[in-house]
Amino acid sequence: MKTVFTWLYELLCGANDDLPEFRDTIFGSVGLASLLLALLLAALFYLLLGRWRHVWYKLSHWVVTLLVCLVAGFGLAFGIARQTLGIFNGYAMLFAVVNGIVLMSYFILFSLLFKRFSVYAKRTPF
Amino acid sequence: MRVFIFGIGGTGAKVLRSLTMLLASGIRINDSSDLTLVPIIVDTDAHNGNTARTRDLLRSYYTLRRTFVGAQAASDAPSFFNTQLRSFNRLDATSSDAADLDVQLNFQNQDDTFANFIHYHGLEQQDKDVLELLYNDSLDEAPELHLNLNVGFKGNPNIGSVVFNDLKNQQQFKNLESSFTATDRVFIISSIFGGTGASGFPTLVKLIRESDNANLATTKIGAVTVMPYFNVDAEETSRIQSAIFDTKTKSALSFYAGDQHMNSIQAMYYLADKDQGGSLRNVEGGPDQLTDAHLVEFLAATAIVDFIGKKDDELLVPQCYEFGAESGGNPLTIGAFAEHTKQRYFRPLAAFAYAAKMATDLIPHMRAEAFYNGKELNIDGKLGVPSEYQKLLQFFAEFQKWSGTEMSNKDNGRAFLSFYYGDRDHLNQLLHGKPIPTGFFNKGLTQAKVAGWLTKNEDGLPKDRRKTEKYLDMLYMTAQQCLAELGQLP
């Protein structure tokens, strides 16, 4: 799992040989946490709210959730990188932005997977 | 079980219109899954506005049932448009999938004058003299002998009874006669104070009782005869005068009382309404005779349901029935009726009113809902059947007009306030006299709440059903939820 996340983030952000903590700790933990967070948000959107109440199911709701993913992905990477490194440099910034996009992508993929199980959001986003 | 329902004249057609609305609302008439109604409009005034409107509505019902319910669906199914209709001239079992519904009995020579109809010009002079004693032979003022039959009998039962007697020679009637079975029944709708109904009713009963087919001759007959319930504008030149409605009624009633065949009718329903303040436009016949629906016509339609719902052993002895509301008042509301009437007739109508409002006003604005999507019901694409979908919306619109506008017309005499369709974004005020309570936390039947129900109901339907069937089922289920939210009728 860690290898997969390392491969993914180095593909998107490039390798950083000066800070081996990224490869050793950050990529793995951020990657797993992001994946689980996207899964949680998608389950919340499609399986919990999407089946339970007719309150959060429209395309506009989905877009807001997607933006939440972006912010959460950024914040997650930012927090873990800063906690691990004690500093926040340009590479960490790039990583945080990329992770926001990656978390959004996970959410989109989970949306495609989960929407068929929803009642109110089964045709969201399309 | 088949029931042949003859709607004679303008009132007959209007009562059939009310019956069609009741059937559309999904009323469960009896426990028979194969109940089939055979509506037959009997009117020489074939282009009469009221007749044409009912004919079109019955045809719409037939088409909509085929498309949105399924031609083979049971008549006691919990669904709108549940009761099966069939054309009187396509009675064999193999023709149940006929493309259209033929409901109008054709009179031969209906474009002739009465004189031509009875071959007046070929008669001996002494016979002509007798006829001229019985019928006004003027050409201009109140013609009887030279009355053109294509506008009906203009309130002349003395002409109608002669013309109707010829029904037994009509091929369509003969076909009907020959296909009549022992389990079939007949119901006849007429008014007693006009021409067509007053004369057609006893003549039809006579033809039935004297039929060569024993099944028809001994069949169980139900009938509703409507006594005066509205006025028409007083016009000196018109043959239709409200002032003589009562006289004509008394005269016909005294004939009915002494007639052997009329006294053999198993269930005779009488309806009348003395509170006639308003006045309708005086039109003698033709396309312009198109009047608003009236509460009394609806109550006459409930007589048909009542008759069909009766078991055979309840029809052994001829009985007469009248209808009474629990309280009077003008306008009348649903709250004025007995609990049985509310539950049996107004509850299904209320469900249909909710469905009509949802289909015409709310659903078109629910583009964000899952059921609206092209991969689900495809509402934008009119369910893939644009013509039928449009027809359904037109039916709903017609129902709204019938129940919300026409019956509340003050000119009817007795106005009836049932449903109000004016609110755009909720259904809280749909029933007159019973608003749905709302508060800070509960906004009642809002568009959002209804949208949630519609979506959930559609999602729960079997995936392999046709879009059209799912659409109507979705409406039906959601309408039942609206009724549950409403609680007791007013």
Q: What is the DSSP letter of B63?
A: H
pLDDT mean over B47-60: 91
For B443-456, the pLDDT digits (tens) are 999 999 999 999 99
Distance from CA of A110 to the nearest CA of B (A): 18
Alpha carbon distance B188, B97 (integer Å): 26
Contact residues on chain B for A58, CB-CB shorter than 8 A = 368
For A68-82, the pLDDT digits (tens) are 999 999 999 999 988
Listed in sequence order, the residues at least 6 apart from B307 whose beta carbon sits closer than 8 Å to its beta carbon are B185, B187, B222, B267, B269
Check: CB of residue B450 under 8 Å from CB of residue B486: no
The region that residue B26 occupies, defined by phi over 0 for left and psi between -120 and 50 for alpha, beta otherwise, is left
State residue B487's pLDDT score: 92
End-to-end CA distance of chain B: 35
Q: How far is CA B344 from CA B32, B349, B479, in A?
A: 16, 9, 16
Res B207 pLDDT > 60: yes
* Sign of the torsion angle spanned by Cα atoms B398, B403, B405, B409: positive
Using the beta-carbon criterion (under 8 Å), do B370 and A58 form an inter-chain contact? Answer: no
pLDDT mean over B25-51: 88
Mean of the per-residue pLDDT values for chain A?
91
For B114-161, the pLDDT digits (tens) are 778 778 788 888 888 888 888 777 766 667 777 777 666 666 777 777
Question: Considering the entire predicted model, what is its pTM?
Answer: 0.90
Half-sphere exposure of B236 (CA within 13 A, CB side): 0
Backbone angles phi, psi at B63, to 5 degrees: -65, -45
Alpha carbon distance A113, B1 (integer Å): 51
Alpha carbon distance B323, B303 (integer Å): 9
Confirm whether the ipTM is greater than 0.90.
Answer: no
State residue B171's pLDDT score: 83
Q: Which of B446, B459, B463, B481 to mutate to test the interface with A (most CBs of A within 10 A)?
A: B459
Res B93 pLDDT > 60: no
Confidence of residue A91 (pLDDT cuts 50, 70, 90): confident
Kindly identify which residue of chain A lies nearest to residue B449, measuring between CA atoms.
A54
Q: Which of A56, A62, A116, A122 to mutate to test the interface with B (most CBs of B within 10 A)?
A: A122
pLDDT mean over B447-470: 94
Two tokens, residue A41:
């948000």
Using the beta-carbon criterion (under 8 Å), do B449 and A120 form an inter-chain contact? Answer: no
Q: A with B: how many residue pairs have Cβ under 8 Å apart?
A: 30
Residues B91-126, buried b or exposed e (16+ Cβ, 10 A)?
beeeeeeeeebbbbbebeebebbbbebbebeeeeee
Contact residues on chain B for A54, CB-CB shorter than 8 A = 448-449, 451-452, 455-456
Res B406 pLDDT > 60: yes
Distance from CA of A28 to the nearest CA of B (A): 38
Tokens 């194969």 locate to: B34
| Contact residues, chain A to chain B, C-beta under 8 Å | 53-54, 57-59, 118-124
Nearest to B15 by CA among B203, B180, B262, B226: B226
State residue A21's pLDDT score: 83
Quote helix, strand, coil % in chain A, to nearest 5: 80, 0, 20
β-sheet bridge partners, residue B221: B186
State residue B383's pLDDT score: 94
Higher pLDDT, B23 or B158: B23
Distance from CA of B457 to the nearest CA of A (A): 9
Distance from CA of B377 to the nearest CA of A (A): 12
pLDDT mean over A25-50: 94
State residue B35's pLDDT score: 93
Nearest to B61 by CA among B399, B364, B395, B425: B395
Res B367 pLDDT > 70: yes
Report the residue from B368, B370, B449 with minimal CB separation from A122.
B370
Report the residue from A53, A58, A119 with minimal CB separation from B368.
A58
Contact residues on chain A for B375, CB-CB shorter than 8 A = 123
Alpha carbon distance B159, B134 (integer Å): 10
Mean of the per-residue pLDDT values for chain B?
88
Res B245 pLDDT > 80: no
State residue A10's pLDDT score: 85
Q: What percent of chain B has pLDDT over 70?
A: 91
Using the beta-carbon criterion (under 8 Å), do B451 and A58 form an inter-chain contact? Answer: no
pLDDT mean over B279-284: 68
Listed in sequence order, the residues at least 6 apart from A48 whose beta carbon sits closer than 8 Å to its beta carbon are none
Higher pLDDT, B324 or B395: B395
Distance from CA of A22 to the nearest CA of B (A): 43
Res B22 pLDDT > 90: yes
Using the beta-carbon criterion (under 8 Å), do B456 and A120 form an inter-chain contact? Answer: yes
